[in-house]
Structure 1
Amino acid sequence: MISRAIRITTSSTVLSRVLGMVRDMVTAYRFGASVVMDALVLALRVPDLFRRLFGEGVLGASLIPPFASLLDHPRQAWRFLTGALLAAAVAALGVVLTCEAVCLWLSFGDLDEGQSLALELTARLLPYLIFVCVLSQLAAALQALGRFTAPALVSCVLNIGWITACFAGPSWTEGQANWARLLATAVLVSGAAQVGWLLADLHRAGFRLLLPDQAARDLLKRSMWSLLPVAVAIAATQINTTVDGLAAWLFGQSGQLETGAATAIYYGERLFMLPVGVVGIATAVVYFPTMCQLVGQQQLDELAVAVRGALRGMWLLAVPASIGLMLLARPVVGLLLERGAFEAEAGARAASAAAAYGAGIWAFAALPLLVRVELALGRPRRAAVAGVAGVALNILLVVGWGRHGEQVLAATTVAAAVLQTIWLLTSISQTIPLDLTRLAPFLTRTLVAAALMAGLVISVRDRWITPAPAALPLIALIVAAAGLHLVVERLLRRVLPDPPDPPSPQISR
């Protein structure tokens, strides 16, 4: 059942995101909002973009439909997958070698200490791209086989390696720059471990390395032709947050923003991606194979039912998450990050970015699903056009207003995500009987419940929650607010029930 797969994926993703939160706490403690942290954030942007791009979608979205079509012929499926793995590894190696050459060329320029360190760390982290590209293929194959746990948990390996390096740094060497170098090495080791884990799980599912024959190569070529529009479609948000981070670093280097701007954007992004990953990406990953099957069977009515159900479940959690982060970003950042080298001023800047990003969680969470609906319908170019529009809008806004602060940089990405969401909903509604008016009762209930939740949060926050609060009062407020939202929404169902839908489809095993 889809619901069971979502529970597995969501619970695994929650564990991974919790470890990611611990990782951010440890990193903030060690590096604060320093020049070294800004350099590390910039160096992480390229591999992090590829990790999100491929690990959360592009190669997987291109691989799942043809791979799923071969599952009745396992040896042919293994030949296709082997070819995909080899192609991904070779392509990634080419990108890495090219980027390393660029880094070497730039290193001969007149660089200050921060720029030199950023370039060095970028060069150290680039090989992680190879692991990312292979991981994406392995994860997509496991998802097509109905094995969701390992792909959802595999990022825990990276988080554990990262946390270990942060703790071990002062024992092995001195200075933040050397700790950052150790951290880069830990990322590479963790990448190798991630690949090993997924390979072992795929082997248990029956996978064997078989050289691709001509039929597998032809199918792989056809799949790769669709890669570019899929990349633009799925990666729009990741590209936009990368633009935010790069702009923050450049504005910081030019003196238009203070040192630590890139760090503030990084932590703001990390906070809003927690609910987006748990709610949005997990739902999209689970639904995608089923949506491909429904399109293949020409069951567009059932596809519309599945999409509406996914949007209801997603927005039931994403809307209160949006409001919660907007209202509680400052105390959340104070609780999680303000210790060690991470001071209150840096916390206030990170919180302003997080609050701005929070306004768009409902849109950020919907985008992975909506893009995959277009991909399942065989229309990657439509999804790509929406992605290009979002990226173009963000770049224009960043160039025009980005120098006014981290909060403005974050707001530009929210505007782009809202545009992309509306665009995709309109496009999909023209093809399948999505009938968004059937979501009106649900949206009314959710917004009323969210308004009451916001009133509770504001009244309690202003009286008892400080910018750097104790854990228990803040956690109690978050739990109480979430509980109030869910209870009110459920009670309102008696007054505003959803119109009945046919039974949701099942995942094919």
Structure 2
Amino acid sequence: MTDRQQPPEQTSSETASAVVDEASRQAAPRRGGLMRSGMVVSSMTMLSRVMGLARDMVIAALFGAGQGADAFFVAFKVPNFLRRLFAEGAFNQAFVPVLSEYATQRTRDEVRELLDAVAGSLAAVLMLITALAMLAAPWLAWAFAPGFARDPEKMALTVDMLRLTFPYLLLISLTAFSGSVLNTWGRFAVPAFTPVLLNLSLIGAAMLLTPLVSEPALALAWGVLIAGAAQLAFQVPFLARLGLLPRPWPRFAHPGVRRVLKLMAPAMFGVSVAQINLLLDTVLASLLAAGSVSWLYYSDRLVELPLGVFGVAIGTVILPALSKRHAEQSREHFAQMLDWAIRAVLLLGLPAALALVVLAEPLLITLFHYGAMTDHDIDMAAMSLRAYAVGLVAFMLIKVLAPGFFAQQDTKTPVTIGMIAMGANMVFNLILIWPLAHAGLALATALSAFLNAGLLGRLLHRRGVLIFQAGWGRYAVQLLGGCMAMGLALVWLAPDWHQWLDWSLARRAGWLAALVAVGGGVYFAWLAATGVRLRHFRMKS
């Protein structure tokens, strides 16, 4: 080579600077397309939800809607509700914006110091709460399922299960902390896959531990505890690979911890209104006919499938992106992201809700009508499934609108809206429980969700951060036309649900798969014919 062709020599300081720059790039949050990130989360969530349905099929076959199932669903719902409050709800919504700001504007050492302090403080608080809850298990069981007091054996079983399931709150909240860090750094797949371990653990416990315990349903509680430990252990190596594995030490005086706590307190209520409403449904359902808790659970599980795959997935990827845009004061891009998120959830949420209404009984029969699950259970669960499905789009909109406030580090406004929705839900419950029983509780939750989503969107629009982009009129017509075409196809093709009761699993699954394929094909064919294209949903984070 000639001298002119040879690369210039680097000084030692330049080399060191290059190494530092490369390390910084590797450790910095990764940016990419929101649609791509959403598809990653959605695919992992779909796997988790499918495994969750397999889990529920096993539980339904072994325990049906009887005493053991009712007791487990209450014992699992209490820590699971608090998990969503502390972890996926308030903590995630408060922590991610602060962490994104540190990652964008602070040094690497300051980021690690924040992680150490938050991890230690979170663990200390949750250890105390877990210990107190295990001691107070009898009172908690009575508070969340007062109707069980009529059956001392059922109440005692619920208390025993609560003491096994409550440590899950500590373990899964630390898992959520790890997932928040990974999501902020653009690693969405690992946190989205982690819930699969819960489903595998419960399936294994139901099939392997049931013969080994005095009360068969206790095996499920052990499965929850095992799952919490497995989920936390799974994420640790990925944090270590990024060099972000914290050394937990409680530091409540740390400025970042104080900001997280300040944001978290109101967010504990605001972002989790839907979960509080579902918990109120459980309390009231315990006062109704035996099996009501289980009917609501099975129908809620089917609504959770599209909600998790579409709504939660979009909400998960949009929060870090919105937080970065807010830190960079990019108001226009912030508004475009919110508009994109609403279009995305409506694209899939509307047909999913319609399919749940039309195919309620076939879905429940195919998934749960085995073993101890009776024809009457299917009929009752279908009523509450249709009621929950009415609110599916609203549940999804809440998942993508609430981050619009949290990204701005405003958790007080959703609290006010949440209180209004909570009050409305209680009124709807009292009005609808008498004529519709457990289905009235589900419908009340759906109606209050629409109120919640409507108020969130209205205030974001008034602030100028939710600006509806051009083309909404045409888009609405395209979506409604596609839903009408899909609905007509499903009603015309689906056999009467009573016939499904006599079919084998293979025939049920085959028919259901065919209906889903035809319905989805008709819907997307309509959208394609009317001009909807995938490129219209591309959005950079």
TM-score, with length taken from structure 1: 0.91
Kept after mapping to 1: 8 A contact 2:384/2:439: yes
**d(CA) in 1 for partners of 2:155, 2:247:** 45
Q: Which runs of 5+ in 1 are unaligned?
A: 252-256
Matched, 1:92 2:117: no
**d(CA) in 1 for partners of 2:476, 2:87:** 31
Q: Select which of 436, 453, 463 maps to 1:431.
A: 463
Matched ranges for 1:461-500 at <5 A = 461-462=494-495, 466-468=499-501, 470-493=508-531
SS in 2 for 1:179: coil
1:146–1:485 Cα change, 3 Å: same
Kept after mapping to 2: 8 A contact 1:237/1:364: yes
Given residue 421 of structure 1, which amino acid in structure 2 is its aligned partner?
A: A
Kept after mapping to 2: 8 A contact 1:272/1:357: yes
SS in 2 for 1:9: helix
Count of aligned pairs: 494
Kept after mapping to 2: 8 A contact 1:465/1:473: no
Matched, 1:184 2:218: no
Matched ranges for 1:270-285 at <5 A = 270-285=301-316
Greater CA deviation, 471-480 or 95-104?
Answer: 95-104
1:405 maps to: 437
1:186–1:307 Cα change, 3 Å: same
SS in 1 for 2:235: helix
Q: CA shift at 1:329, angstroms? A: 0.8
Deviation per CA, 1:340-368, whole angstroms, max 9, x where unpaired? 11111111111211111111111111111
1:443 maps to: 476
Matched, 1:241 2:241: no
1:347 maps to: 378
**d(CA) in 2 for partners of 1:55, 1:481:** 36
SS in 2 for 1:40: helix
Q: CA shift at 1:330, angstroms? A: 0.6
2:256 maps to: 219
Kept after mapping to 2: 8 A contact 1:390/1:417: yes
Larger radius of gyration: 2
Matched ranges for 1:4-153 at <5 A = 4-71=36-103, 73-104=107-138, 112-153=152-193
Q: Select which of 479, 485, 494 maps to 1:452.
A: 485
1:212–1:86 Cα change, 3 Å: closer
The sequence identity of aligned pairs, in percent, is 25
Kept after mapping to 2: 8 A contact 1:79/1:211: no
RMSD: 2.4
Given residue 428 of structure 2, which amino acid in structure 1 is its aligned partner?
A: L
Kept after mapping to 2: 8 A contact 1:64/1:144: yes
Q: CA shift at 1:288, angstroms? A: 0.8
1:76–1:35 Cα change, 3 Å: same
SS in 1 for 2:371: coil
SS in 1 for 2:359: helix
Q: CA shift at 1:160, angstroms? A: 0.4
1:107–1:426 Cα change, 3 Å: closer
SS in 2 for 1:91: helix
Kept after mapping to 2: 8 A contact 1:363/1:417: yes
Q: CA shift at 1:389, angstroms? A: 1.4
Given residue 201 of structure 2, which amino acid in structure 1 is its aligned partner?
A: G
Deviation per CA, 1:433-473, whole angstroms, max 9, x where unpaired? 53447422211110111011111111112568834352111
Kept after mapping to 2: 8 A contact 1:330/1:352: no
Kept after mapping to 2: 8 A contact 1:76/1:216: no
Deviation per CA, 1:370-414, whole angstroms, max 9, x where unpaired? 000111123211111111211221122223432442211100000
SS in 2 for 1:298: coil
1:32–1:465 Cα change, 3 Å: closer
Q: CA shift at 1:106, angstroms? A: 7.7
Kept after mapping to 1: 8 A contact 2:251/2:257: no
**d(CA) in 2 for partners of 1:271, 1:427:** 31
Kept after mapping to 1: 8 A contact 2:70/2:294: yes
Deviation per CA, 1:297-330, whole angstroms, max 9, x where unpaired? 2222211111111111111110000000011111
Matched, 1:193 2:247: no
1:155 maps to: 195
**d(CA) in 1 for partners of 2:495, 2:81:** 37
Q: CA shift at 1:91, angstroms? A: 1.3
1:300 maps to: 331
**d(CA) in 2 for partners of 1:107, 1:18:** 30
Given residue 303 of structure 1, which amino acid in structure 2 is its aligned partner?
A: F
1:62–1:456 Cα change, 3 Å: same
**d(CA) in 2 for partners of 1:328, 1:213:** 50
1:214–1:134 Cα change, 3 Å: closer
1:254 maps to: none
2:16 maps to: none
SS in 2 for 1:474: helix
Kept after mapping to 2: 8 A contact 1:80/1:212: no
1:110–1:33 Cα change, 3 Å: closer
Deviation per CA, 1:175-197, whole angstroms, max 9, x where unpaired? xxx22212211211110111111
**d(CA) in 1 for partners of 2:140, 2:461:** 48
Given residue 168 of structure 1, which amino acid in structure 2 is its aligned partner?
A: L
Q: CA shift at 1:102, angstroms? A: 2.1
Q: Which runs of 5+ in 2 are unaligned?
A: 1-32, 143-148
Q: CA shift at 1:333, angstroms? A: 0.2
1:483–1:134 Cα change, 3 Å: same
